[in-house]
Amino acid sequence: MMRPTLTLLTLSLIASTGCFALPSAQAPKTGAVATGEPLNVVDDVKVWTTTSKEKVGEAVHKDANGNKVGSTDVYAEKTHVHTQKVWYVVQGPEQIADEDFFRIAGDQQAVDATLKMRQEGRRQNRNGKIAMGAGVVSMIAGFFVPQPIIRTVLLAGGGLTVSGGWYWAYAGAKKMEPETHAVQRSMAERAARQYNQGLGSVGTNVGINVSGKF
């Protein structure tokens, strides 16, 4: 009689730690128009932190005579700092989306490639979440199946599907981030240089002291 309660608890745990914690596939804000300012490619370093529990020691348990009777691992949360070299595009001092950058520069091929990547990211993110949902359903069904072999298959298969769906959806969400580009950096530099020549100015990398919107 405890299976329904266990199932609901499991579903709540999966939902709170998986589906709702998954980054949404949101593309950078678009709509920038040409202002007459030069286009440039900017190098930057993305920094973020993660925390994890790591073993830092071991507590030894002894009896009244001082003999070892057991031990307990001691864990502590540690913060890890990660860095990643990234580049993004700007118009004047303002960061803009790749779609707008290449549209202003007149590089339709790069615009099409960027839009295609965004569409693939949305689809991949959506399909990954659907796979996660199917995995959750499989795991829930496993609690109600009396046959041990079938129950194991449903629970294990559902867990693998949830895990695979999460990574699938996460990869799709990454394609929507402004640091992810559909073309090489050299193509963005070339587009900026050609556009700036039309303005009568030569574009250069302006460093990282620009205002980013994303």
pLDDT for 90 beyond 90: yes
102 against 53, higher pLDDT: 102
Handedness of CA 80, 86, 90, 92 (dihedral sign): positive
Q: What pLDDT score was predicted for residue 2?
A: 39
Q: What is the mean pLDDT of residues 9-31?
A: 62
Share of the chain above pLDDT 70, in %: 83
> Higher pLDDT residue, 208 or 90?
90
Residue 73: per-residue pLDDT: 80
pLDDT score of 214: 65
Phi/psi for 33 (5° steps) reads: -120, 165
Query: Residue 39: in which H helix or E strand, if any?
Result: strand 39-62
Cα distance between residue 16 and residue 10, in whole Å: 10
DSSP, collapsed to helix, strand or coil, labels residue 159 as helix
pLDDT at 201: 55
List pLDDT tens digits, range 159-202. 899 889 999 999 999 999 988 999 999 999 999 999 999 887 55
Least confident of 25-29, 35-39, 95-99, 102-106: 25-29
- HEC string of 82-147? EEEEEEEEEECCEECCHHHHHHHHCCHHHHHHHHHHHHHHHHHHHHHHHHHHHHHHHHHHHHHCCC
Q: pTM for this structure? A: 0.71
Structural domain boundaries of the chain?
A: 3-42+93-199
| pLDDT number for residue 207 | 43
Q: Which amino acid is at 54?
A: E
Top-ranked range on mean pLDDT: pick from 55-59, 66-70, 133-137, 206-210: 133-137
